C-alpha cells in the first residue's frame, strides 16, 4: 500500500502503472452517506502541471473521453487540480493491459479467435470515439493517434477497452501538435501520420491492423531499433502477411489484415466498425467468457495480488467511513441536544422571572438565606432543565385534575347554607303536615347534641322538638334551591 494521498473526495493508494508524464494509481472515490467506489487515478508528474502545453493536453483528454460513451472505452469520471498537479479520474478496470498479457505469453501467438475478439472490441471502441459529438451535436472528428497494446485494457469480464486519449486529435482541440513534432508510438503510426498529412479515422484503422498482426504472429512488426529503418519500412508498405510468419493462421485473415495496413488510406476500411464487422464475418470469434478465462489464466498471479489489494483497500475505506459516519452521527446528536437545551432555557425563563423569591428583598451578604435565594435563582444546568419543565408540567396537570374532581363532587353533594332572609324556625309538636313540600321530608333529621341527649335530673324531660327545615326558595329557573346550590 502506498502512502494515502487525499485529493478532495478522492484517496490515492497503490501505484498501478507509470509512464513518462504521469503515474496511474489505485484510488477510492468517497462520497456522502457512505458511498464509495474504486477508481483509477492518473497523476501527472511534478513539474508538468507548469507546462501550458501539457496542461492543455491533459484537459483535452478529459474533455474528449467524457464525450465518448461506449462499453469498449474506459470512461473518464472527473478531473482534479491541486498544488501544481493534475489528476484524471477514470473507471477502474480489473484486468491487464494487452501489452502485459502479450509479454506474459512469452511471445507465443494468441489463439486467432481470441485475438480477433480483442481486436473487434478495440475497433468498436475506436468507432465510438470517431462518432463522438459535442454539446451542440456537432461531430468532434476524434482520432486517437496512439492505438497500441499499451492503451488497450482487457478485463476479467472478457471485454477489451480503449484508454488514453491524451494525444487524440479533435476539432476545436485546445492543444495542437507543432510542425515537425510527432506524437505517438512510431511502430504503430500510419504513413500519413509520419508525413504530417491530414489524419482521420482510417489512421486508427491502420494502427489497429498492426496490433492484430502482432497478436496473430506473436512478434513485433517493426523490430529495428533505428527510427529511420522503421519509418522507411512503413512508408514503402512492404509488410509480410501474417500466415507467412505463423502458418497456423487462416489464410483468409491475410487479406483482411493487409487491407487494414494499406499505404493509401483510400484502400483501407472506411471505418473501424467496417473492419470489426469484416472480422466477425471472416472468423468465428471467441465469446467474452472465453476471453475472460484466457485473461484469468495468463495473468493469474498479478490479478490475485490486485484483487487482494482492492479488497484490503475497500475494507479499510469502509471501516474508516463507518468511523466517520459514527462521528458525524454523534455530532448531530450533540447539536440536537444543544437545540433542546436552548428550547428548555426559553421555557424556564418566564418561570424564573415569575418566581416570588426573585423579587425578595435583599439580605445581608454571606447569610444563609442569601445563599439559598442565589441558588434558587441560578439557572439549572442544561442536563436538568428538561426535568424542571417536566416536573412543572406534571404539577400543573395534577392541580387541574384535583380542581376538576372537587368541582364534580360539589355538584353531586349540595350543601344547605343559611340565608339571611330565611324565615325563623318553628317548633312543631306533631307530624309534618302533608301539605309540606316533598323536599322537606327528604331532608335528614338533625342529630341532637350531647347536652340535649342527657337531660338534667332537676328538670322534667321535655318533649323533643320536631326538626326544623329551612323554607325553600325558588330560583329564577323555577326550581327549588337550598342555600346557594340548586338541587336538580
pLDDT (tens digit per residue) in 431-487: 444 444 444 444 444 444 444 444 444 444 445 555 554 554 444 444 444 444 444
If you average pLDDT over every residue of the chain, what do you get? 75
Cell numbers given for 55: 496542461
Rg for the chain, CA atoms, rounded: 50
| CATH T-level fold of 94-173+183-312 | Transferase(Phosphotransferase); domain 1 (1.10.510)
Q: Find the catalytic residue in 146, 164, 204, 317.
A: 146
Whole-number pLDDT of residue 367:
47
User: 73-87, 189-203, 313-327: which has the minimum mean pLDDT?
Assistant: 313-327
Q: Which of 469, 460, 410, 414 is nearest to 438 (CA)?
A: 469
Whole-number pLDDT of residue 62:
81
Cell numbers given for 413: 353533594
pLDDT (tens digit per residue) in 8-64: 889 888 888 887 778 899 999 887 777 888 999 998 887 777 778 778 888 877 888
pLDDT band at 66 (very low <50, low <70, confident <90, very high): confident
Q: Which residues are CB-contacts of 88 (< 8 A; sequence separation ≥ 6)? A: 22, 41, 42, 58, 61, 62, 76, 79
Tell me if residue 146 is catalytic: yes
| CATH T-level fold of 1-92 | Phosphorylase Kinase; domain 1 (3.30.200)
| Euclidean distance between CA atoms 5 and 389, whole angstroms | 51
Q: Which of 30, 24, 1, 31 is nearest to 13 (CA)?
A: 1
Whole-number pLDDT of residue 256:
96
pLDDT band at 386 (very low <50, low <70, confident <90, very high): low
Place of cell 497456423: 248
Residue 177's Cβ-count burial label (10 Å; 0-12, 13-18, 19+) is: middle
**Whats the size of the chain, residue-wise?**
488
| Euclidean distance between CA atoms 148 and 151, whole angstroms | 6
Angle at 239 between CA 236 and CA 245, to 5 degrees: 160
Residue 218's Cβ-side half-sphere holds a number of Cα atoms within 13 Å equal to 14
| Euclidean distance between CA atoms 147 and 165, whole angstroms | 9
pLDDT band at 300 (very low <50, low <70, confident <90, very high): very high
pTM recorded for the entire structure: 0.64
Whole-number pLDDT of residue 483:
45
The 3 state secondary structure assigned to the chain is: CCCCEEECCEEEEEEEEECCCEEEEEEEEECCCCCEEEEEEEEECCCHHHCHHHHHHHHHHHHHHHCCCCCCECCEEEEEEECCEEEEEEECCCEEEHHHHHHHCCCCCCCHHHHHHHHHHHHHHHHHHHCCECCCCCECCCECCCCCHHHEEEECCCCEEECCCCCCECCCCCCCCCCCCCCCCHHHCCHHHHCCCCCCHHHHHHHHHHHHHHHHHCCCCCCCCCHHHHHHHHHHCCCCCHHHHCCCCCCHHHHHHHHHCCCCHHHCCCCHHHHHHHHHHHCCCCCHHHHHHHHHHHCHHHHHHHHHHHHHHHHHHHHHHHHHHHHHHHHHHHHHHHHHHHHHHHHHHHHHHCCHHHHCCCCCCCCHHHHHHHHHHCCCCHHHHHHHHHHHHHHHHHHHHHHHHHHHHHHHCCCCCCCCCCCCCCCCCCCCCCCCCHHHHCCCCCCCCHHHHCCCCCCCCCCCCCCCCCCCEECCCCCEEECCEECC
Q: Which of 174, 150, 201, 168 is nearest to 76 (CA)?
A: 168
pLDDT (tens digit per residue) in 216-245: 999 999 876 778 888 888 998 788 999 998
Whole-number pLDDT of residue 116:
96
pLDDT band at 322 (very low <50, low <70, confident <90, very high): low
- Contact between 173 and 230 (Cβ < 8 Å): no
Whole-number pLDDT of residue 330:
54
The DSSP bridge partners found for residue 473 are 481
Residue ranges per domain, the chain? Answer: 1-92, 94-173+183-312, 323-354+382-390
Q: Count the neighbouring beta carbons within 10 Å of the beta carbon of residue 8.
A: 13
Whole-number pLDDT of residue 431:
46
Q: What is the dihedral of CA 269, 275, 277, 281, to 10 degrees?
A: 100
Amino acid at each position: 500500500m502506498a502512502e494515502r494521498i487525499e485529493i478532495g473526495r478522492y484517496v490515492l493508494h497503490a501505484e498501478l502503472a507509470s509512464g513518462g508524464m504521469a503515474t496511474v494509481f489505485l484510488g477510492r472515490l468517497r462520497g456522502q452517506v457512505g458511498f464509495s467506489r474504486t477508481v483509477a487515478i492518473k497523476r501527472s508528474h511534478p513539474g508538468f502541471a507548469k507546462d501550458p502545453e501539457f496542461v492543455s493536453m491533459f484537459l483535452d483528454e478529459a474533455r474528449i473521453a467524457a464525450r465518448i460513451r461506449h462499453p469498449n472505452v474506459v470512461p473518464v469520471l472527473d478531473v482534479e487540480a491541486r498544488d501544481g498537479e493534475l489528476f484524471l479520474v477514470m473507471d477502474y478496470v480489473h484486468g491487464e493491459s494487452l501489452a502485459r498479457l502479450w509479454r506474459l505469453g512469452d511471445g507465443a501467438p494468441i489463439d486467432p479467435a481470441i485475438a480477433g475478439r480483442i481486436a473487434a472490441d478495440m475497433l468498436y471502441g475506436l468507432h465510438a470515439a470517431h462518432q463522438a459529438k459535442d454539446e451542440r451535436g456537432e461531430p468532434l472528428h476524434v482520432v486517437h493517434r496512439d492505438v497500441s497494446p499499451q492503451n488497450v485494457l482487457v478485463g476479467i469480464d472478457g471485454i477489451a477497452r480503449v484508454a488514453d486519449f491524451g494525444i487524440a486529435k479533435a476539432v476545436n482541440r485546445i492543444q495542437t501538435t507543432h510542425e515537425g513534432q510527432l506524437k505517438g508510438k512510431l511502430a504503430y503510426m500510419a504513413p500519413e501520420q509520419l508525413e504530417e498529412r491530414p489524419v482521420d479515422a482510417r489512421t486508427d484503422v491502420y494502427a489497429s491492423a498492426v496490433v492484430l498482426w502482432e497478436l496473430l504472429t506473436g512478434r513485433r512488426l517493426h523490430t529495428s531499433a533505428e527510427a529511420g529503418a522503421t519509418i522507411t519500412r512503413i512508408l514503402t508498405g512492404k509488410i509480410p502477411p501474417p500466415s507467412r510468419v505463423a502458418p497456423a493462421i487462416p489464410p483468409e485473415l491475410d487479406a483482411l489484415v493487409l487491407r487494414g495496413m494499406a499505404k493509401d488510406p483510400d484502400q483501407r476500411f472506411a471505418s473501424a466498425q467496417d473492419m470489426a464487422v469484416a472480422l466477425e464475418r471472416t472468423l468465428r470469434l471467441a465469446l467474452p467468457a472465453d476471453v475472460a478465462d484466457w485473461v484469468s489464466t495468463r495473468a493469474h498471479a498479478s490479478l490475485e495480488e490486485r484483487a487482494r489489494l482492492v479488497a484490503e483497500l475497500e475494507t479499510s475505506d469502509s471501516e474508516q467511513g463507518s468511523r466517520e459516519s459514527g462521528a458525524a452521527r454523534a455530532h448531530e446528536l450533540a447539536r440536537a441536544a444543544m437545540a433542546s437545551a436552548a428550547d428548555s432555557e426559553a421555557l424556564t425563563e418566564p418561570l424564573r422571572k415569575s418566581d416570588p423569591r426573585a423579587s425578595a428583598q435583599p439580605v445581608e451578604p454571606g447569610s444563609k438565606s442569601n445563599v439559598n435565594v442565589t441558588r434558587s435563582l441560578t439557572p439549572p444546568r442544561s442536563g436538568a432543565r428538561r426535568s424542571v419543565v417536566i416536573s412543572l408540567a406534571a404539577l400543573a396537570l395534577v392541580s387541574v385534575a384535583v380542581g376538576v374532581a372537587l368541582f364534580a363532587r360539589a355538584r353531586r353533594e349540595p350543601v344547605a347554607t343559611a340565608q339571611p332572609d330565611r324565615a325563623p324556625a318553628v317548633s312543631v309538636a306533631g307530624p309534618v303536615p302533608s301539605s309540606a313540600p316533598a323536599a322537606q321530608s327528604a331532608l335528614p333529621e338533625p342529630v341532637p347534641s350531647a347536652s340535649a341527649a342527657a337531660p338534667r335530673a332537676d328538670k322534667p324531660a321535655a318533649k323533643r322538638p320536631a326538626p326544623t327545615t329551612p323554607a325553600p326558595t325558588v330560583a329564577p329557573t323555577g326550581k327549588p334551591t337550598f342555600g346557594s346550590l340548586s338541587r336538580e
